[in-house]
């Protein structure tokens, strides 16, 4: 995956969680961020230090993490990409909200602002035409990935053996 001016998808996720916590009225603290992101507080602290060095956040030890003006702009962009994608996935593709949110969260980091704008425009044009999303989509039997669509996951990827970690020596 490419980086946007040095920002990774991880950096963007951290900026977005700070943005969302603040928007909900909660202060962004390391513990809350760790819970929301599903990581350890030490991981959050390390990423927050990196974001501080990039002048995107400020953080006093054991205090609230705050976005700088640049961090606020970047976080707003990530949040907007997420919202546009989530709405597109639900209103155009007919995905349920949970699936749309998961897909939008994974996709928001990969698409350019131009692509996001075009998706938003397409969704608006379809809405004007009273477009109804395919709620009960059934893929044709000859679809390239019919089995994967039916299963809800990539069968080929499931066939790849996971590398087993060696047990720790006692």
Taking CA atoms, 67 is separated from 31, 58, 59, 60, 80, in Å, by: 17, 6, 9, 12, 16
**Global pTM exceeds 0.95:** no
CATH of 9-73, one of 2.130.10.10, 1.10.150.80, 1.10.10.10, 2.60.120.10: 1.10.10.10
Highest mean pLDDT (candidates 4-8, 59-63, 100-104): 100-104
Helix (H, G, I), strand (E, B) or coil at 37: helix
Which of 140, 161, 141, 139 has the alpha carbon at shortest distance from 152? 139
Q: Taking the CB of residue 91, how many other CB atoms lie within 10 A of it?
A: 16
**Tokens encoding 121:** 């425009």
Which pLDDT value is given to residue 1?
41
Length of the chain: 170
Query: 28-44, pLDDT tens digit by residue?
Result: 999 999 998 999 999 99
Which of 20, 2, 36, 5 has the alpha carbon at shortest distance from 72? 20
Report the percentage of the chain scoring pLDDT > 90: 59
With beta carbons less than 8 A apart as the criterion, state whether 58 and 68 touch.
Answer: yes
With beta carbons less than 8 A apart as the criterion, state whether 94 and 133 touch.
Answer: yes
d(Cα 95, Cα 104) in Å, to the nearest integer? 11
Provide the 8-state DSSP code for 7.
B
Q: Domain-by-domain residue ranges, the chain? A: 9-73
d(Cα 69, Cα 60) in Å, to the nearest integer? 17
Average pLDDT, the chain: 85
d(Cα 111, Cα 129) in Å, to the nearest integer? 26
């Amino acid at each position: 995956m490419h980086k946007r001016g040095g920002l990774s998808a991880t950096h963007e996720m951290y900026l977005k969680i700070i943005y969302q916590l603040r928007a909900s009225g909660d202060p962004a603290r390391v513990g809350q961020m760790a819970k929301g992101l599903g990581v350890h507080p030490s991981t959050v602290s390390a990423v927050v230090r990196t974001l501080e060095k990039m002048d995107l956040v400020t953080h006093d030890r054991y205090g609230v993490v705050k976005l700088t003006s640049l961090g606020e702009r970047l976080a707003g962009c990530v949040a907007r990409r997420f919202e546009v994608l989530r709405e597109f996935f639900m209103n155009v593709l007919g995905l349920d909200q949970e699936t749309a949110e998961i897909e939008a969260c994974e996709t928001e980091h990969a698409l350019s602002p131009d692509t996001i704008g075009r998706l938003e425009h397409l969704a608006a044009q379809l809405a004007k035409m009273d477009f109804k999303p395919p709620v009960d989509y059934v893929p044709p039997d000859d679809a390239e990935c019919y089995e994967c669509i039916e299963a809800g996951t990539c069968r080929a990827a499931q066939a790849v053996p996971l590398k087993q970690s060696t047990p720790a020596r006692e």
